[in-house]
Amino acid sequence: MEKQVFDVMMKLSSPNKFTTKNLDFREKYSDIFAAMEYFNYRCANKKVRILDVKVDYIQVRLDIVSKDGDVTPIRQLSAMSRYLYSQCGWSKYSNLKHRLFYIYMWQEREYDQYSIDAVINEKQRASKAISDEEMLNFLGLIVKNQEMGDKERKKKILGEVKSILLRYI
């Protein structure tokens, strides 16, 4: 078994000019986060983490364990793309049926040096504060998707939030 890590930037492959005129992926973060959770829940040998969301692209880190180490990132991210396309209504953003993204850029990383946990820790240190709206969105997503993905971690987070809130009630 070989572990591989890819940093991937995705853009819409054939944007619909009418529905994407004012599209900002940053405003769709909750959809992207839900798709990531779905992907991580469904794919045992793959994990994806959102690194950055910009106006016109999404950057993720894809962590894969494969038998032969011969992996193409675009094929691996299809579950995430399908979720956005069919479950979140993103089909309206594409002119091609069942085709949402193309890989704008990808780079293979050394697994040990660039583990997902290290990236998460970096992001947490870099973003010491989030807006109230972002916090509510994240909490809502955790509550809504608490049975998907890392259930124990979500239950722990919700328990900690509840205990903090109880101090003020």
- 37 to 128, 132, 142, 163, 168: CA distances (angstroms): 23, 22, 10, 25, 31
Q: Is the pTM of the predicted complex or chain greater than 0.85?
A: no
Tell me what the pLDDT averaged over the chain comes to: 78
CATH number listed for the domain at residues 2-127 = 3.30.70.3190
Q: What residue ranges do the domains of the chain occupy?
A: 2-127, 129-169
Q: What percent of the chain has pLDDT over 90?
A: 11
Per-residue model confidence (pLDDT) at position 110? 60
Alpha helices in 50-131 (DSSP H): 73-76, 78-82, 116-126
In angstroms, the CA 56 to CA 48 distance is 19
Q: In this predicted model, what pLDDT tens digit does every residue of 14-38 receive, in sequence order?
A: 888 888 888 999 999 999 999 998 8
